[in-house]
Structure 1
Amino acid sequence: MISEFTWPNHDLPSDKDAVRKLIECHGFQHDVAYGKTKLFIRTPRTLFTLEELHAKMLVRIVLFLQKVWRGTLARLRYRRTRAALTIARHYRRHKVRAYLRQVERRFRDVRLLPDRGRRLAWPAPPKVLQRFEEALQGIYHRWRAAELIRSVSPEMLPQLRAKVAAMELLKGHRADIGLQRAWQGNYIALKPDSPQSSGSFTPVANELKRKDKYMSILFSCHVRKVNRFNKVEDRAIFITDRHLYKMDPMKQYKVMKTIPLYNLVGLSVSNGKDQLVVFHTKDNKDLIVCLFSNDPSNDSRIGELVGVLASHFKRVRKRV
């Protein structure tokens, strides 16, 4: 144990030669005598020295055995962990494939359904695919929206875009934004809304089109204007793709104020039933009006106004 020539096993011809080699390695060959089966040591000092060397080497051997055993345990734990991870990886792959097959079977013929699969329930995904399921549902909803939009006639697309814009801006802020009814836009020209004055409005609108070269009418409606002295007056607003006009319906829709649309910087609406609207301008000369309708009298047009303007400015930004 205390010599590299004899530990752990010697390769000498005999055990006696191994003992002789061990004694010679430590320089005690002059202090010992060899018998046939025994070793005779002359002085106690040699014996004590050999015992001390044995004790020191025993500590090193114990540490070595502990190191080997700890390494063995670590390798066993590594193999078990690796096996567990391999099993878990294959299990996750199985769950992912099973989920994808289930989704594929459930939505295989969704294009043939009238509602494009709106009522189909999504299978529960494994935890590893929760974010993937959110992305997949987003892709599906965009596809379904595109399919629904494709089925809408071109004449209804502007109204649909305006309603979507109004819902994005006013959802949660107003209870009624008029999504369930058809949006007419040019209400002043409609006889049910203004039977006495619709005939006098059309020539004014045509003259403004000739003068200001607008391409389309976005919105028109009778309003009640509130000035800085809290005085309420009947007015009308006429919004085209170029200007916002404030008119006096009592004077054959005479234009009282013209605001270019590029001067509008914002729009504020109330969350009640009063349909109060504030047009914010760059020069801080805001226009405060309250929309109202004659037929029906409780018809809410705030959502239509907000949606039409939002949709228009989105198209303008895309062109720029």
Structure 2
Amino acid sequence: MAQASNLQLPLPVTPRHKLADQRTRKSLGRGEFRLLHYAGEVTYNVTGFLDKNNDLLFRNLKETMCSSENPIMSQCFDRSELSDKKRPETVATQFKMSLLQLVEILKSKEPAYVRCIKPNDAKQPSRFDEVLIRHQVKYLGLMENLRVRRAGFAYRRKYEAFLQRYKSLCPETWPVWAGRPQDGVAVLVRHLGYKPEEYKMGRTKIFIRFPKTLFATEDALEVRRQSLATKIQATWRGFHWRQKFLRVKRSAICIQSWWRGTLGRRKAAKRKWAAQTIRRLIRGFILRHAPRCPENAFFLDHVRTSFLLNLRRQLPRNILDTSWPTPPPALREASELLRELCRKNMVWKYCRSISPEWKQQLQQKAVASEIFKGKKDNYPQSVPRLFISTRLGADEINPKVLQTLGSEPIQYAVPVVKYDRKGYKPRSRQLLLTPSAVVIVEDAKVKQRIEYAKLTGISVSSLSDSLFVLHVQREDNKQKGDVVLQSDHVIETLTKTALSADRVNSININQGSITFAGGPGRDGIIDFTTGSELLITKAKNGHLAVVAPRLNSR
């Protein structure tokens, strides 16, 4: 018996089947053969064919062979295989089981037939073999399938699936259709405007004839999906932000509730404290005149604190402000001490803040007030006027006078009118104050020099006139007598003269008349009377008569 092999398989196939072209056999291997099918040439390889199609022996046959007395026969079978008591499956049985499994799978699924077309035999991208494609289309029966489809209905779908997919296109079926699916599909196609020749209604399915009808429906569905997506997004955003708003609202209500509770507790605590404070104040007010005790200590401390706080707000702004809050009886002594300290503090601050020039001005004003206040009628008019250092400029004093004075500085200069001792004739002069003397100048000539040591006094009337007399000490009759002068700034002139000559206490303010030494052996008299206007003349009795208006009544 000849031994069968895989290479012997193509021999019996050759006379029964049509092989491929003889010219292509040279490219086949030893164990390969090629058959010509309706769809083209198919190459087969016989390697392993016998093993794949070999039936296994049953167990009883294997036991018989293993128990053979022929040693060669018994060695051909392995006794270990006898342990498996299961009956081996034949090739036919395996093929049948595979077909049954395939049928079960097909029954449980909805098959969709996909035609795979190879663009080329070389498996290269971007290469399209037109002859090969046409050959595959022809032998796969795609053209016949298309002609059948065109002759019948190109699309068919069950009512449930069709309604579920396209129900959003009709307001009556969206979002839920409550009736039968077939009725819902009928309403839907009427709304979509299908023509009678474009579709047919079956028992369980709808049949659509033209693909363009389905494509138009799909386009409408795509547009509807966009609007539905927008609506869903808007609804979701509204829901999301509403939930967020509700969470914020709940949080705000919680915070407001907590805050109102806190404010209420604070308000209650304040009211309780206020009630206790009022009760303590009333009790302390009732016992305010009693000695200090726990019942009135709070009231007394409150009164003192209130006074001090009020005093802090109403402290005098300057040294001339004499206002001061009225202290309670328990703080009268302390109030006086505080008032004195405040006054000293304001005086100290004021003294530190004034300049040297202003300090000199105040000193001169103080001396003028000490001398003339309440005594000279025109003193009040001089108070608001500042005393200046000089009434004459450097160019108004003759250089010869300055040369005569030498290094002696001029402390004050003012124009005056001098009255002669005999005829009381007025003459314009200049009065200069130096550190050691009063100098009376006429143009470029020094007419009289009065040393401060020889100045015995100064006389002035109590009226509003501007005359004054410088009394000079005479050692003999040859020396000149007293000097009668008139100055528009009499208060300023006399104050500076008194300070320079240290004769503050030597100024005499007379009422009625002033007697002065007019010449050798005789005295002159100046009579002062009140009138409507200032008038200075020589009287018939030989006296100098001065009529001055009264500016202030004393």
Larger Rg: 2
Q: Of the two structures, which has the highest relative contact order with CA contacts closer than 8 Å and spacing of 6 or more? A: 1
